Amino acid sequence: MTLSELQVLICTTGREASRPALIYGARIAHLLGIPAQLLGIEKKGVSTPEEVAALLAEGEAELQKLGVPYQVVLKSGSIEDIVPPETENRPSLTVIPPLERSTLQTWLQGDPLNKLVTRMSQPIFHVPEMKYPMKHILCSVGGLAYASSLFRFCVYLAKASGADLTLLYVIEPANLDEPFIRPVDEPGLSLLDTDTPQGRNLRRMRDEALNAGVDTQIRLRHGIPVREILAQINDADYDLVGVGSPLSANAMRQRYLPNITGMIIQMANCPVVTVRYGFELES
């Protein structure tokens, strides 16, 4: 997919928590030089039409200030039902605010964030707070081939913004004495020094990013993936975190990867972008 085929779809539900997503989406559109669509979503019990209109006006003002071409669309319903068809009509980099739902609502209706990630094939930026410009990007490459789309999109953003890139790989505990599952079992031996698929893939990604002109480093952590990813986020001041979509995982990992992705999105204190395997942005 070429950049000219895309727009930035910026969503607001009228709540105060939507404001960072509006500003962030405008900055992403400006950074990439593509148009934007402001999508105001009215839902009874969530916000009033006046609140949605007020935030849309703020989004328009930001886009006008940056000189980004845009259109405004207003719809009624839930964000998880409205947004996916919009991205089918026009391929989009979608920017969403935190989806504030009670535990009871989530239990009765399902997790709206998982519904969005499951139904959308293009990248989604979840923006709980404003962190811009992008100077430091963390890309969690917790897999082999399925992490390639996420990695290349993070490289694209890093190159466009002048950010540096950290590739994070979490070496998980394993009970099976199998070299593929336990890539490092000798004291002092780094995964990057091994001829395992993981080691070769990490070296390839590092070299590819460096060849693209992106300052890149690799961080290895040992432990439970969600804990270690969150720990790495908390250890450094990242402006954006990239994680794989649940549907990027192979069959063995699908049982728990959706929870990892959802927990990172919900708990990270910075914008998080999810990218499904198969999305490729041409240079």
Per-residue tokens: 142: 């917790």
pLDDT of residue 56: 96
pLDDT of residue 283: 64
pLDDT of residue 110: 53
- Rounded mean pLDDT of 236-247? 86
pLDDT of residue 281: 87
pLDDT at residue 257 greater than cutoff 50 = no
- Tell me the pLDDT tens digit for each residue of 223-238: 988 999 999 999 998 9
Residue 190 or 107, more confident: 190
pLDDT of residue 263: 86
pLDDT at residue 2 greater than cutoff 60 = yes
Distance between CA atoms of 220 and 216, rounded to whole angstroms?
A: 14
The strand pair at 272-275 and 124-126 is best described as antiparallel
pLDDT of residue 105: 47
- Tell me the pLDDT tens digit for each residue of 126-162: 999 999 999 999 999 976 667 899 999 999 999 999 9
pLDDT at residue 241 greater than cutoff 90 = yes
Distance (Å) of CA 250 to CA 138, 145, 148: 22, 10, 13
pLDDT of residue 162: 97
What is the residue-averaged pLDDT of the chain? 86
pLDDT of residue 172: 82
Tell me if 26 sits within 8 A of 63, measured CB to CB: yes
Residue 35 or 178, more confident: 35
Percentage of the chain modeled with pLDDT above 70: 84
Distance (Å) of CA 161 to CA 32, 122, 125, 215: 9, 20, 16, 12
pLDDT at residue 188 greater than cutoff 80 = no
Tell me if 165 sits within 8 A of 216, measured CB to CB: yes
- Rounded mean pLDDT of 64-88? 95
Please list, residue by residue across 193-226, b when 16 or more beta carbons sit within 10 angstroms of its beta carbon and e when fewer do: ebebebbebbeebbeebeeeebebebebbeeebb
**Stretch among 91-95, 162-166, 266-270 having the lowest mean pLDDT:** 266-270
Distance between CA atoms of 147 and 244, rounded to whole angstroms?
A: 6
- Tell me the pLDDT tens digit for each residue of 202-215: 999 999 999 999 99
pLDDT of residue 101: 52
- Residue 191: band (very low, low, confident or very high) from pLDDT cuts 50, 70, 90: confident
pLDDT of residue 192: 78
